Amino acid sequence: MSAGENKRVGVLLGGLGSEREISLKTGEAVATALAERGHDVQRVYVDRDLDRVLRQNPIDVAFIALHGPYGEDGCVQGLLELLGIPYTGSGVLASALAMDKLKSKELFRLYNVPTPPYYAIDASQHDALEEMHGSFGFPAFIKPRRAGSSIGAGRANDMAELHERVLDAAHFDDSVIVERFVTGREVAVGILDGRALGAIEISPKGSFYDYKSKYQSGQSDYHFPARLSPTRYKGVLNIAERAASCLGVTGAARVDLLVTEGENEYVLEVNTLPGMTPTSLLPKIAAGAGYDFGDLCEAILDRATLGSREAHPARVNTTASTSVVGLAID
C-alpha cells in the first residue's frame, strides 16, 4: 500500500487488557514509522466504544497494535469484519485459537507439533489441585490460559508453590495451564506469510523470559541467528511454520519454542500480534532478514485483509474502504 494511494491507516492501540502499556508502545512505534513513510495515520485508542469511534472517524485499513484479550483474541477482528475494514494479522478463528493456550496445544498434538505435556485447571477446581496434579511431577510451569507477555506466569518447584502460582495466574484468567517445565534455550521464530524469517535466541538474565526480561532494556541478551547447527536451525524454522499453519495463522506472527540439549524442540505458543517495541523480538528477527523497522511495518500493512472473509487478498483500490491489501515479498 503506497503513500500515493492516500489511504487512512488507523493504528489500533491501548485496549482493555493487562498488556495495554505494551500496546501503547507498539502502536506509537508503528504509527510513527508509517507516518514517516507518508501514510495518513490516525491513532485509534481502543476502549469499549471502538465501534462508535470507527463509525465517527472512518479509516480505510486497520493496523492492529493490540495485545492480549479483546484485541489479540479475535474480538476486534470480528468487529472490523462487521464494519468492512481490512485489518492486519490473522482472522477471527486463528486469533482466538492462538490466544487460547489450551486449544493451541490440542491442535499442536493433533498435527504432531511437539509441545510440553500439560493439563488445564479452572480456578473453581483449586481445592482438587493436588489430586489433578497427581504424578505430573515438578518443576512445573504455570500460566493463564488466555494471556500474553508472561503476565501471571511462573515456575513451581513443589506443591505449595504450585498452589501459589495457580492462584496468581487465576487473577488473569479463570482457567490456568500447568505445563511440564522444560530446560532449554528460549528461541523465537518470526513468521511472515507462513514463511519463517529466521530464529533468534534469548538469554534472559532472570530465571525465565518474563515481563521484565521482555520489556526492560538490558534484561536479556539476544543472539541472531540462534546458536544452533545449520540442520537443527532449519528444523526449528520448519516446526515454527507447522505450528503457525495448524492454527491458520496469516500475516506476521512469532512462534516461541524451547530447544533442549537433548535434540528436542517444543512449541510453547504462537503470537498473532507480536510486540513492535524497541526490545521486541519480531523487529529483531526481521532486521536480521533485511527488513528495517519501517519495512516491517509496511510489509505487515500490505498484508491487511478482511480476515476470514477474504481467501485471496487483493491490493486496496482508491475508492472502496472495504477493499483489501496484499503484496507478496520474496
Residue 271 designated active-site: yes
| Rg of the chain over all Cα atoms, to the nearest angstrom | 20
CA atoms of 255 and 272, how far apart (whole Å): 9
Q: How far is CA 318 from CA 5, 8, 61, 63, in A?
A: 6, 11, 12, 18
Options 18, 90, 213, 271, the catalytic residue? 271
CA atoms of 125 and 185, how far apart (whole Å): 33
Options 87, 209, 211, 215, the catalytic residue? 215
Options 269, 291, 303, 323, the catalytic residue? 269
Options 275, 280, 307, 323, the catalytic residue? 275
199-214 residues labelled b (16+ CB within 10 A) or e (exposed): bbbbebeeeebbbebb
Using the structure block, give the residue that is written with the C-alpha cell 479452572: 122
Options 10, 18, 19, 89, the catalytic residue? 19
Options 145, 146, 185, 254, the catalytic residue? 254
Options 72, 256, 265, 302, the catalytic residue? 256
Residue 84 designated active-site: no
Task: Give me the DSSP letters along 65-124.
Answer: ---STTTSSSHHHHHHHHHT--BSS--HHHHHHHH-HHHHHHHHHHTT-----EEEEEGG
Burial class (CB in 10 A: 0-12, 13-18, 19+), 65: buried
Question: Amino acid letter at 231?
Answer: T
Sign of CA pseudo-dihedral 168, 173, 177, 182: negative
Residue 221 designated active-site: no
Residue 19 designated active-site: yes
Residue 215 designated active-site: yes
Sign of CA pseudo-dihedral 90, 96, 98, 103: negative
Options 149, 150, 175, 213, the catalytic residue? 149
Residue 186 designated active-site: no
Residues taking part in catalysis: 19, 149, 215, 254, 256, 269, 271, 275
